[in-house]
Chain A
């Protein structure tokens, strides 16, 4: 029989060492964010390609999953929709006439033109957050495609979020429904400023919080909220969602309500990144 010559350390001490290491790491990553970047990108570069591959399986599975759960609904819906198509096509002709009128109004607003004028890059969502607590995802474009930190991300015609971290081949996006997200918004109709903040609990009902609207104004449900001029990270005039349920908050000075986002966050696939960072240099100078 050989005698064991291995050195054994009591796991207690390893635990203590690791926990201390965590605290140190936390302080370092908080205080000197840029020092962690090489380690982060090393982990990212190892994981992202694998995630890209598996993600396609995930999408297929998700389609299957939807297929079974919605099959019955779809059949019923199909019947209803066919009836609707007939009605709608008649209506459509009328609406097309209205469209010319609308285009003229749009020009007056001047907002949408600015909006379409932002340069955009399309990107694909690789994966979602591994926890049930946050709403962060990773897209497959990075500095190689000209992305930078603080660029705005859209899907369809609504705001999705903002890039919080960018690497060579991928970027991390924090969506507006994340519990930690705050966006300065403006009610389109009367330019009333407000703060749109994500809320994990409310998101179950498909809404997030809107706070800080002046207590004296009356705004009806369904008013559009767009990103505000005064925000230092979000470009102005991007549609965020629709306001509802406005009421006085506990301070009795301002009002709060809910916002239904335009974007369907449960099934994000393609997003657009606006490759223009809001120039807040002026603002920073003023703050100095």
Chain B
């Protein structure tokens, strides 16, 4: 429960930054997508359910405030959260390579799905142009920002759930292989 609340708060903070601060920090007309970072991170770090949960709220905020049709962004973000949750088993705290790779793929997938839903449907067929001008720059920028957000989330995780040393013995020796050896 604590995690759900903290993820919701983090989503709100990211949404505010995304809409109010990052439009001023555009590079080559492109800004990073914090909401994909947070959705991907939630799925990857905490599993499918939290990925779904975070994705749902990210999509809902965007749809309710900015889109004419409600549901498309929710659809995309929920899928991203869920798919990242599926590789939750690969999560290992000290390794940033896999999550960042997953994030890059997620952002590319987001760009592609958004293109299909809103642009391809209106007959804008030049997918390569959109790929080069929007999706790939966004992916790179997002991945760079993602490093900082992952660091921040690891720090938050440590504050919320400090690692406890579990004493061995004390009559529970038979269970020791279920714990991580510290």
Contacts and interface: CB of A to CB of B under 8 A. Distances in A.
A binds B: yes
Interface string A104-148: 000000000000000000000011111111101010000000000
Given A25-B70, A29-B71, A19 B16 contact: no
Interface in B1-45: 12, 15-26, 29-31, 33, 35
A61 to B, nearest CB: 6
A136 B65 CA distance: 10
Given A58-B21, A201-B129, A22 B69 contact: no
Given A58-B21, A127-B19, A22 B75 contact: yes
Interface in B63-113: 64-66, 68-72, 74-75, 78-79, 82, 85, 111
A222 interface: no
Task: Name the prevailing secondary structure of the A interface residues.
Answer: helix
Task: Name the prevailing secondary structure of the B interface residues.
Answer: helix
Q: Which of B20, B118, B134 has the most CB of A within 10 A?
A: B20
B151 interface: no
Contacts of B154: none
Contacts of B29: 132, 203-204
A275 B113 CA distance: 38
A127 B20 contact: yes
A265 to B, nearest CB: 10
A30 interface: yes
Interface residues of A, number: 49
A65 B12 CA distance: 24
Nearest to A8: B49
Contacts of A15: 48, 52, 78-79, 82
A158 interface: no
Contacts of B47: 11
Contact of B15 (A14, A58, A130, A132): A130
B74 A22 contact: yes
Given A54-B21, A201-B133, A203-B29, A130 B62 contact: yes
B24 A61 contact: yes
A288 to B, nearest CB: 25
A127 to B, nearest CB: 4
A18 B20 contact: no
Interface stretch (A40-48, A88-96, A188-196, A279-287): A40-48
Contacts of B66: 129-131, 134, 136, 172
Given A19-B78, A47-B15, A128-B19, A11 B85 contact: yes
Contacts of A57: 20-21
Interface in B46-66: 47-49, 52, 56, 60-62, 64-66
A71 interface: no
A29 to B, nearest CB: 4
Contacts of B124: 179
Given A29-B71, A65-B25, A203-B29, A18 B56 contact: yes
A23 B15 contact: no
A55 B25 contact: no
Contacts of A22: 71-72, 74-75, 78
B156 to A, nearest CB: 20
Interface string A7-49: 0000100110011001111101110000010011001100100
Closest 3 CB pairs of A and B: A62-B24, A26-B71, A128-B23
25 contacts: A15-B52, A19-B75, A19-B78, A19-B79, A23-B75, A25-B70, A29-B68, A40-B70, A43-B60, A43-B61, A47-B16, A47-B61, A54-B20, A61-B24, A62-B24, A62-B25, A128-B19, A130-B66, A131-B33, A134-B66, A179-B122, A180-B122, A200-B134, A201-B130, A204-B133
